[in-house]
Amino acid sequence: MSEHIPTHDEPKDKVGLFLLRWSQLSAFIAAVLLLLICIISALSVLNRWLFNSPITGDVELVQIACALSISAFLPYAQMKNAHVIVDFFTIKASPRIRNLLDAFAGILLCIVSALLAWRSAAGAISSYKSNTSMMILGWPEWLAHLTIAPGFLLLSLTALYTTYLKLKENKGMHA
């Protein structure tokens, strides 16, 4: 971590702006959700301490909200180039090589997040068909599976877009 990793500037093209706005909205919703979960957790602990009665299903709520929040925060981090980068092996590489490695990582992220979106949606369909429900809350399980699919779909799209930017930037560099 010896060098500053620049964040991406705001995109100028329509696709980039659309993805940025969508990822900002997604991150905002995730932040609000995490705040609500913090409040619910605090109230549950307080209820347990004062009345020996926690909020029913608080653990399930935290699990669902955390999974949703993670999938909702990741696209914004991708658009801002804010993921953790371990550059121990590439610190001495040329900017061109690092851009190519970043593009390769972006392609991998695009593929993996698309697979996660697909399997989350498939899991939701399967859970819907089998009519499974959560143990404590009794809510349909497919709702939890379905909520993370859009975040991973957006992550896949933002990874594809940022990969395009890296390759475009690399093309402009001199060998």
| Mean pLDDT computed over 150-160 | 98
Question: Model confidence over 39-92: pLDDT tens digits?
Answer: 999 999 999 999 999 899 999 999 999 999 999 999 999 999 888 777 777 788
Separation between Cα atoms, residue 120 and residue 46, nearest integer Å: 34
Residue 140 pairs with which residues in a beta bridge? Answer: 133
Give the up-direction half-sphere exposure of residue 109: CA atoms within 13 A in the CB hemisphere.
26
Question: Model confidence over 96-135: pLDDT tens digits?
Answer: 888 888 999 999 999 999 999 999 999 999 999 999 999 9
Count the residues in the chain: 175
Question: Which of helix, strand or coil describes residue 137?
Answer: coil
pLDDT band, very low/low/confident/very high, at 175 (cuts 50, 70, 90): low
Structure-token match 């010896």, residue found: 2
Q: What's the pTM?
A: 0.88
Closest to 77 in 3D by CA, of 19, 35, 33: 19
